[in-house]
Structure 1
Amino acid sequence: MIASAQRSFIPPQATIWGLLLANGFLIALMLALAKAATSQGMPAITYAFWQTLIAGTLLLVCTQKRRSLLERRLTRYFLISGLTGIAVPNVIGFYLVTKLGAGFTGIMYALPPIFTFLLAASMGLEKRSGIKLTGLSIAVVACAWIVLQRHSEISSPNLLWFAMGLVIPAMLSIGNVYRSVAWPEDVKPMILAAGTLLASAATLGLFAGLTGTSIFPETTGLQLVGIVGIQGLLTSLTYLCAFELQRRSTPVFYSQLGAVAAVFGLLIGVIWFRENYSLTIWLGAFLVILGLRISNRRGVQTGAP
């Protein structure tokens, strides 16, 4: 009765928005920790491998249906979800965070909404809405403006870094739609999060071996071990929230957590790393929030109950 009473006091939309905000903050915090680790010499692939392995193992220990991970019907889901949603975006993000800063890298996670919307609408998963498209377009244009501003502020920028950054939203958009379309019936978010993280870790481990990247760097000290451990715990919470959010909402609403992470990323960049941003960048961040607010003015469309 207590649980049912608690559910009655918390509206579904409040729960979804709470998950979105918490998830966005955790993603921004993960990028900040990644910068702290990779700037000390740990390769991005190595960091991403331990991050996902620790997080997946923690969730696996906490779940009661570990045998579900061995079901054949889930193998493809774990692999595709792990590659598009974790492995590829995180390796690129962890590498770029040392080159372009935590704030800029966080912006790359803000771009998927409009691409997710177009992809979902073309597949009939999302109703075509001029208001939603306008709001998302404002957010994406604002993100592009921030990118241009950061490009002019970084000394001797490498255009390849910016091209690599665009791979992040592309992969995330594909993953957002895929996870909703292929969501396995009668499988809890914790199982899906654990399987996806472990599949990502296996892929990253294989990639590290093929590229000759050591997963046990000799320069790793106690401080780095501590950062990786904290990152693993945060990652487990992040993806548990992420899969719960995906279960409760639509792919387009879910994709907006990147924009939330971008704003939190700017704040963390200023507070933690003493990064300086011009007034135009903060204006862009405001427009990102405004655009997302416009796109959701008709309310949140919920997914599975």
Structure 2
Amino acid sequence: MLKVMLTSTFIASVAAIIAPTVQANTTLFESRDVLTPQQALGRFQWLEKCYPGLLVEVSDNIFDPTTPIPNEEKIANLKKVMLYKNSALRNDAKYLTFGDEDNANPKNWFAGISPTTSCLQIPSDYRISAVMVTPAMPNYCETRSRERDYEHIKSVKFSNLDNTSSNTFYSNYVGDTAKIYADKSYQLTLTPGFSGAETYPETWHVFIDWNQDGDFKDSKEMLFAGVSEQALQVEITPPTGAKKGMTKMRVTMDYLGGSNDACKEVDSGEVEDYLLYVK
């Protein structure tokens, strides 16, 4: 089993972020490793199953116990301060992310986000890179498709984001984050998928909460992307005044035309949500 070395700089940053008396700021490791609070809990449970010794080492470096305590108690203490507040899962849950000595992820390796995930070996040149904080996101309206048997969103490509999926009524790909710069334009590629050989003209809408107020109702937050039986491409440029930080992008595809309202169900197709990191 790999032993991940903890640097003094990392230990200090961990202690500052985890300490219950310290106000934590969002730390964003620039990769796709952005999790929800529930996924952060899953990450801890995965490490507890696969790398319990690592959690013990982190706990020892943070709490520096003066008297010996069982490893199970050390892990429980670490879990409590990283993930819980007043016995409830924190909205700003903390979790460990991994990378090489440059805090990069050249091998595209990610730790598990569920206790049911297989125990994947941490690359030999990787170590703990940072303590991440789950982004504080507003509660967006819920929506879905009524029918998904004939068509679905097959893939979404935008900046560094490249996600391929099967047919569902709704998918929240909060762990798939596109990093964009506020002063640049990016090409969004949307590809439909079909259950059989026959294809259909699909209507696409894209919604981005540029001002991060929890809805898609403001100016320039809705884009009619077009109608196509094949992959289509559309250019997206953040509007002047787009707020920097984490926000949500919603993509809808509907054979029956869709809607300019991001909260309205689509008739036949799919809805997918993603995170955007605007720099």
Q: TM-score, normalised by structure 2?
A: 0.23
- With a CA cutoff of 8 Å and minimum separation of 6, indicate the structure with the bigger relative contact order: 1
Higher strand fraction (1 or 2): 2
When Rg is computed on C-alpha atoms for both structures, the one with the higher figure is 2
